[in-house]
Structure 1
Amino acid sequence: MEVAGAIDSHSVGEDIGMVCDMEQPLEIPVMSDLTMVLGSISQSKARAVVIDFTDASTVYDNVKQATAFGMRSVVYVPHIQLETVSALSAFCDKASMGCLIAPTLSIGSILLQQAAISASFHYKNVEIVESRPNARDFPSPDATQIANNLSNLGQIYNREDISTDVKARGQVLGEDGVRVHSMVLPGLPSSTTVYFSRPGEVYSIKHDITDVQSLMPGLILAIRKVVHLKGRIWCMVWKSSCRDPNCSLTSFVYC
């Protein structure tokens, strides 16, 4: 793989290699015109994939343009709305072009979600504690995704105080009692811990991100997967394929 173009509203005219602190320039300037860049890349015979790190409000138009030039897209945009995903799904199905929407690019985060789903069949108490080095939208997309996955399994958690509105008990996501506690602690890595418990036992799963380089293996995997997709929106999230606690089958699911 190699970088073929760079589009942004910032650093226009600068070499993308220098912007990314590479040792050598890539001789690829950052441009603000998406159509111009896609048109230039489409003239080559190489298979191209567009990586969208922009904003939820622009994703649909970006994917639409990429598809018009025969390119598939990998989208990593926090807080993308389900309405946008549905619209993209209908568009890609009509165009017979696949797209991959990744709520996370961290393989460790996906494994954490998978482990949490497996554990949820054996515990009735679960809480999520997360920390981030700076203030962002809370609960984070990772914590929200984990809570939603657990809530979709038909379990009821934390029955003892599921109805309490004491703020110190954290925020309940969904109707199944999954509580999330969010902390902002400068100097700490981005961290997510899921605690499960029952009388006499506590089971915890923790995932830390100390450097954004950890997202690259997931991004490369997404690029390799998306070139084989046709007419579907795939979401890069592991979910259990059945509700039997003895079933270990998992699969990529699509919206």
Structure 2
Amino acid sequence: MTQSPIPVVVNGALGKMGRETVKTVAQAEDMMLVGAIDKNPAHLGEDIGEIIGCGALEVPVLNDLESVLVLATQEKVQGVMVDFTHPDSVYENTRSAIAYGVRPVVGTTGLSDKQIKDLAEFADKATTGALIVPNFSIGMVLLQQAAVTASQYFDHVEIIELHHDRKADAPSGTAIKTAQMLAEMGKNFNPPKVESSETIAGARGGDGAGNIPIHSVRLPGLIAHQEVIFGATGQIYTLRHDTSDRSCYMPGVLLAIRKVTELTSLVYGLEKII
């Protein structure tokens, strides 16, 4: 028997990542786009496919999350909500999806540690799978794994993340996650060599996990980029990942949609499901 397609709701459907996700889900044979949500009133009620230029999909843009989540629960297969919205709304969006029995795949960054913990507890109680993914790029997962390996041999490391100037949160969730992965090695990085001070507050970056400074750059022309720079006497080891097109995230998005249907709890990070 052919398995029923996975019903998918895209929240933030008119954003750059949302549009790319809509196109990708619409083309996936094992998925069915059942909802497109966006707070922008300009295209309310219009067909999302016609708006983004991939042909009519018979899915109107709506601005009421809960009414669309209901649609995702009416299919034979448990639905999935992909969220690319805003840090101010992502927590409530994710909690609402879990409450309705729709499995969230969250690409929006900006959730605090406490919010992630609360969502994990809520997902456990509901026995509902959830995925929070700071970065859907397979290349970034490989960079993080290489950084973890390098951290065994270097005691000094800093992270620089660079994004477009419309990104609302800083530092990026990817940079925070990278620092956390390095800190899990049990080392306290960057032991001080001198007693230093900042002439301008924040010049040395923000304090990430493991005493790892994180520096954020926001400029037009950028998409998403990250450097992890290790230093030791006589050498510098730099790992860098650059994004030139948002389509690079789509294999990770598809993987996350498929994997979250197999989960019964919250998982944080794409590397956990690869």
Question: Matched residues in 1 for 2:161 and 2:50: separation?
Answer: 34
How far apart are residue 15 of structure 1 and its match? 1.1
Structure 1 residue runs of 5 or longer lacking an equivalent are: 239-250
For 2:215, what is the secondary structure of its paired residue?
Answer: strand
1:6 paired residue number: 36
How far apart are residue 26 of structure 1 and its match? 0.8
Letter in 1 for 2:170: F
- Residue among 219, 224, 240 paired with 1:190: 224
How far apart are residue 41 of structure 1 and its match? 3.5
For 1:142, what is the secondary structure of its paired residue?
Answer: helix
Aligned: 1:234 with 2:267: yes
Question: Matched residues in 1 for 2:112 and 2:102: separation?
Answer: 22
10-19 vs 114-123, greater mean Cα deviation: 10-19
Would you say the 8 A contact 1:148–1:174 is kept in 2? yes
Structure 1 runs, 4 residues or longer, greater than 6 Å off: none
How far apart are residue 222 of structure 1 and its match? 0.7
Once superposed, what is the RMSD of the aligned Cα atoms?
2.7
Structure 2 residue runs of 5 or longer lacking an equivalent are: 1-30
- TM-score normalised to the size of structure 1? 0.81
Percent of aligned pairs sharing the same letter: 37
What whole-Å deviation, never above 9, does each CA across 1:169-216 have from its counterpart, x for those lacking one?
621524744223333443344321111122232211110011111111
- TM-score normalised to the size of structure 2? 0.76
How far apart are residue 228 of structure 1 and its match? 0.6
Question: Matched residues in 2 for 1:3 and 1:216: separation?
Answer: 15
Would you say the 8 A contact 1:169–1:179 is kept in 2? no
Aligned: 1:154 with 2:186: yes
| 1:128-143 matches, cutoff 5 A | 128-134=159-165, 136=167, 137-143=169-175
Question: Matched residues in 1 for 2:197 and 2:138: separation?
Answer: 34
Question: Matched residues in 1 for 2:242 and 2:249: separation?
Answer: 12
100-109 vs 64-73, greater mean Cα deviation: 64-73
Q: Assess, with a 3 A threshold, how the Cα gap between structure 1 residues 91 and 162 changes in structure 2: closer, same or farther.
A: farther
What whole-Å deviation, never above 9, does each CA across 1:30-68 have from its counterpart, x for those lacking one?
112223223234333244211122344544543444345
What whole-Å deviation, never above 9, does each CA across 1:210-238 have from its counterpart, x for those lacking one?
111111111111111110111x1111254
How far apart are residue 78 of structure 1 and its match? 1.0
How far apart are residue 157 of structure 1 and its match? 2.8
Aligned: 1:218 with 2:252: yes
- Residue among 93, 100, 105 paired with 2:131: 100
For 1:159, what is the secondary structure of its paired residue?
Answer: coil
Q: Assess, with a 3 A threshold, how the Cα gap between structure 1 residues 35 and 156 changes in structure 2: closer, same or farther.
A: closer
Would you say the 8 A contact 1:144–1:173 is kept in 2? no
How many residues matched? 239
Question: Matched residues in 2 for 1:188 and 1:91: separation?
Answer: 36
For 1:5, what is the secondary structure of its paired residue?
Answer: strand
123-132 vs 221-230, greater mean Cα deviation: 123-132
2:70 paired residue number: 39
